[in-house]
Amino acid sequence: MKRRTVLVAMAAAPLGAMLPLPAFAQKPIVLGFAQVGAESEWRTANTQSIKSSAQEAGIDLKFSDAQQKQENQIKAIRSYIAQKVDVIAFSPVVETGWDTVLVEAKNAKIPVVLTDRAISSKDDTLYVTFIGSDFTEEGRKAGRWLVEKEKGNAGPINIVELQGTVGSAPAIDRKKGFEEIIKSDPKFKIIRSQTGDFTRAKGKEVMEAFLKAEGKKINVLYAHNDDMAIGAIQAIEEAGMKPGKDIIIISVDGVKGAFEAMMAGKLNVSVECSPLLGPQLMSVVKDIKAGKSVPKRIVTQEGIFPMEVAAKEFPNRKY
């Protein structure tokens, strides 16, 4: 009934006063998304969230995987500009080097949304909003957990650090937040710090090198994501040491693999970093197309999961 009424109204209205098309007759919004890659459990869950949310929202998604290479993300953004998509969204693999291509998007009048990771640019008109976690706070949460855990220990407490992708916002900010907290007590010393590029394989490889160089001097591992921690756990076991006991392990993301490691007593705590950004992204894309204003920064809310709660929390995990 309603549908016919709308159509009748349109036929009667003079051409100059055409009513807006009803939702079922409007062409779908086209969103171009340039993803970092498929480097971790977190990224896989993030991709799944974006694809399933686009489908549920009736948004036509064009998706690309850059295999963690900035030049591939830039190529994808340029192809979306050429295709004249309605909105472009991406998770910048590193913070810098985006201004040129984002000026091209701006000149093409295509709004850009940052998800997951931020960019470092003087011109914040190059994107409409940034939806993602507060990585510095994630680093602080990791540091606060360690300070509390070791409050009765006079030290020294030697820490090795597996950093995320060099130049990426999560790697820069998780390091900054962690160091901000542990610098309060000189017993904490970061004796080795190197990138494992957020992957299990590289995390294992770098941890093997740390163990070769420092061996039993290592008290704590701080890994910027669960995948590198899981790789490091393999290296620690192969070196004949007990992960979670001989070496306390702190990581970030809260993926299922981390919960399984915590339930096995091999990982001590994982700071949550939610990849489930799809629903928020689609809602923002629709608001932008509807001409609504959106906040410049949308922060995802997250917790922290020590091994003691892992078994109880595991059934609730969505990624």
Query: What is the binding site for ligand GZL (CB under 6 A)?
Result: 39-40, 42-43, 116-117, 133, 170, 198, 225, 227, 252-253, 273
Distances (CA, A) of 125 to 46, 70, 71, 102: 26, 21, 22, 10
Least gap, CB of 72 to ligand GZL (angstroms): 16
Q: Toward ligand GZL, which CB reaches closer, 30 or 118?
A: 118
Q: Toward ligand GZL, which CB reaches closer, 86 or 116?
A: 116
Measured between alpha carbons, how far apart are the two ends of the chain, in Å?
43
Q: Toward ligand GZL, which CB reaches closer, 199 or 219?
A: 199
Using only the alpha carbons of the chain, give its radius of gyration.
23
Q: Toward ligand GZL, which CB reaches closer, 47 or 158?
A: 47
Q: Toward ligand GZL, which CB reaches closer, 39 or 150?
A: 39
Least gap, CB of 254 to ligand GZL (angstroms): 10
Least gap, CB of 233 to ligand GZL (angstroms): 16
- Supply 33's token pair: 């998304």
CB 273 within 8 A of CB 45: no
Q: Toward ligand GZL, which CB reaches closer, 117 or 192?
A: 117
Least gap, CB of 258 to ligand GZL (angstroms): 10
Is omega for the bond preceding 156 within 30 degrees of 0, making it cis?
A: yes
In the β-sheet with 248-253, what is the strand arrangement from edge to edge?
188-195, 157-163, 220-223, 248-253, 269-272, 304-306
For β-strands 129-132 and 297-299, DSSP reports them as parallel
Q: Alpha-carbon distance 134 to 297, whole Å?
A: 10
Taking each helix axis as running N to C, give the angle between helix 70-82 and helix 99-107, from 0 to 180 degrees, rounded to the nearest 10.
Answer: 10
Least gap, CB of 273 to ligand GZL (angstroms): 5
Alpha-helical segments (H) within the chain:
2-12, 41-57, 70-82, 99-107, 135-149, 169-182, 200-214, 226-238, 256-263, 278-289, 307-313
Q: Toward ligand GZL, which CB reaches closer, 39 or 86?
A: 39
Least gap, CB of 27 to ligand GZL (angstroms): 32
Least gap, CB of 199 to ligand GZL (angstroms): 8
Residue with the shortest CB distance to ligand GZL: 42
